[in-house]
Amino acid sequence: MGIFAIHYTYPADMTEAFKIRAEHRDWLTGLPGLRVAGMYHEGHDEFSEGEETVEEPPNGALIVVEADSLDDVVEAFDEDPYWLGGHVLRRVVREWNPPLGPWVADASQGNA
Protein backbone atom coordinates (compact mmCIF):
# COMPACT_ATOMS: atom_id res chain seq x y z
CA MET A 1 0.00 0.00 0.00
CA GLY A 2 1.13 3.52 -0.73
CA ILE A 3 0.01 7.05 0.01
CA PHE A 4 -0.89 9.22 -2.98
CA ALA A 5 -1.42 12.97 -3.21
CA ILE A 6 -3.81 14.18 -5.87
CA HIS A 7 -3.79 17.86 -6.80
CA TYR A 8 -6.73 19.28 -8.71
CA THR A 9 -6.75 22.61 -10.49
CA TYR A 10 -10.25 23.95 -11.02
CA PRO A 11 -11.57 26.76 -13.24
CA ALA A 12 -11.76 30.26 -11.74
CA ASP A 13 -15.55 30.12 -12.04
CA MET A 14 -16.84 27.12 -10.09
CA THR A 15 -20.56 27.85 -10.67
CA GLU A 16 -21.13 24.78 -12.85
CA ALA A 17 -18.96 22.50 -10.70
CA PHE A 18 -20.84 23.47 -7.54
CA LYS A 19 -24.04 22.19 -9.15
CA ILE A 20 -22.66 18.64 -8.74
CA ARG A 21 -20.63 19.28 -5.59
CA ALA A 22 -22.82 16.95 -3.49
CA GLU A 23 -22.29 14.14 -6.02
CA HIS A 24 -18.52 14.79 -6.01
CA ARG A 25 -18.41 14.75 -2.20
CA ASP A 26 -20.50 11.57 -2.01
CA TRP A 27 -18.07 9.94 -4.43
CA LEU A 28 -15.09 11.06 -2.33
CA THR A 29 -16.72 9.87 0.90
CA GLY A 30 -17.16 6.41 -0.58
CA LEU A 31 -13.62 6.24 -1.91
CA PRO A 32 -11.66 3.39 -0.28
CA GLY A 33 -8.45 4.63 1.33
CA LEU A 34 -9.46 8.31 1.54
CA ARG A 35 -7.27 10.09 4.11
CA VAL A 36 -8.23 13.74 3.58
CA ALA A 37 -9.73 15.96 0.89
CA GLY A 38 -10.53 19.62 0.45
CA MET A 39 -10.18 22.79 -1.56
CA TYR A 40 -7.36 25.18 -0.86
CA HIS A 41 -8.25 28.43 0.90
CA GLU A 42 -8.68 31.47 -1.26
CA GLY A 43 -5.62 33.67 -1.40
CA HIS A 44 -2.12 33.70 -2.75
CA ASP A 45 0.45 30.99 -2.48
CA GLU A 46 3.83 31.72 -0.97
CA PHE A 47 6.83 31.07 -3.18
CA SER A 48 10.38 31.19 -1.98
CA GLU A 49 12.33 34.26 -2.99
CA GLY A 50 14.12 34.01 -6.31
CA GLU A 51 11.82 31.45 -7.89
CA GLU A 52 10.32 32.33 -11.22
CA THR A 53 6.80 31.01 -10.91
CA VAL A 54 3.41 31.45 -12.45
CA GLU A 55 0.65 31.95 -9.92
CA GLU A 56 -1.69 28.99 -9.63
CA PRO A 57 -5.32 29.47 -10.59
CA PRO A 58 -7.41 30.53 -7.58
CA ASN A 59 -9.25 27.22 -7.17
CA GLY A 60 -7.63 23.92 -6.43
CA ALA A 61 -7.78 20.97 -4.07
CA LEU A 62 -5.61 18.38 -2.39
CA ILE A 63 -6.82 14.83 -1.88
CA VAL A 64 -4.75 12.17 -0.13
CA VAL A 65 -5.56 8.48 -0.48
CA GLU A 66 -4.04 5.14 0.36
CA ALA A 67 -4.02 2.63 -2.49
CA ASP A 68 -2.12 -0.32 -3.93
CA SER A 69 -0.75 1.48 -7.00
CA LEU A 70 -0.68 4.66 -9.05
CA ASP A 71 -2.74 2.88 -11.70
CA ASP A 72 -5.43 2.07 -9.11
CA VAL A 73 -5.60 5.73 -8.07
CA VAL A 74 -5.82 7.02 -11.64
CA GLU A 75 -8.51 4.46 -12.47
CA ALA A 76 -10.53 5.46 -9.40
CA PHE A 77 -10.16 9.20 -10.00
CA ASP A 78 -11.26 8.81 -13.60
CA GLU A 79 -14.70 8.18 -12.05
CA ASP A 80 -14.84 11.44 -10.04
CA PRO A 81 -17.95 13.39 -11.08
CA TYR A 82 -15.86 16.58 -11.26
CA TRP A 83 -13.43 14.86 -13.64
CA LEU A 84 -16.22 13.32 -15.74
CA GLY A 85 -18.00 16.68 -15.89
CA GLY A 86 -14.91 18.51 -17.15
CA HIS A 87 -14.56 20.59 -13.98
CA VAL A 88 -10.92 19.66 -13.37
CA LEU A 89 -8.50 21.63 -15.55
CA ARG A 90 -5.45 19.69 -14.39
CA ARG A 91 -4.93 16.62 -12.23
CA VAL A 92 -1.57 15.57 -10.81
CA VAL A 93 -1.30 12.22 -9.02
CA ARG A 94 1.94 11.53 -7.17
CA GLU A 95 3.02 8.75 -4.88
CA TRP A 96 3.85 10.32 -1.54
CA ASN A 97 4.97 8.04 1.25
CA PRO A 98 5.96 10.36 4.09
CA PRO A 99 8.66 9.07 6.45
CA LEU A 100 7.34 11.13 9.38
CA GLY A 101 3.92 11.69 10.90
CA PRO A 102 0.74 9.69 11.39
CA TRP A 103 0.60 8.28 7.85
CA VAL A 104 3.95 6.51 7.96
CA ALA A 105 3.64 2.99 6.60
CA ASP A 106 7.13 1.94 7.70
CA ALA A 107 8.52 3.86 10.70
CA SER A 108 12.00 2.47 10.04
CA GLN A 109 12.20 4.73 6.95
CA GLY A 110 13.31 7.86 8.84
CA ASN A 111 14.69 9.94 5.96
CA ALA A 112 12.65 12.51 4.06
pLDDT in tens, 68-103: 999 999 999 999 999 999 999 999 999 998 888 887
Lowest-pLDDT choice from 12-16, 29-33, 40-44: 40-44
Contact 87, 10 (CB under 8 A): yes
| % of the chain surpassing 90 pLDDT | 65
Ordered domains of the chain (ranges, CATH): 2-42+58-95 (3.30.70.1060)
Would you place residue 8 in the very low, low, confident or very high pLDDT band (cuts 50, 70, 90)?
very high
Output the pTM of the full model.
0.83
Sign of CA dihedral 76, 111, 40, 49: negative
Burial of 49 (0-12, 13-18, 19+ CB in 10 A): exposed
Averaged pLDDT, 32-61:
77
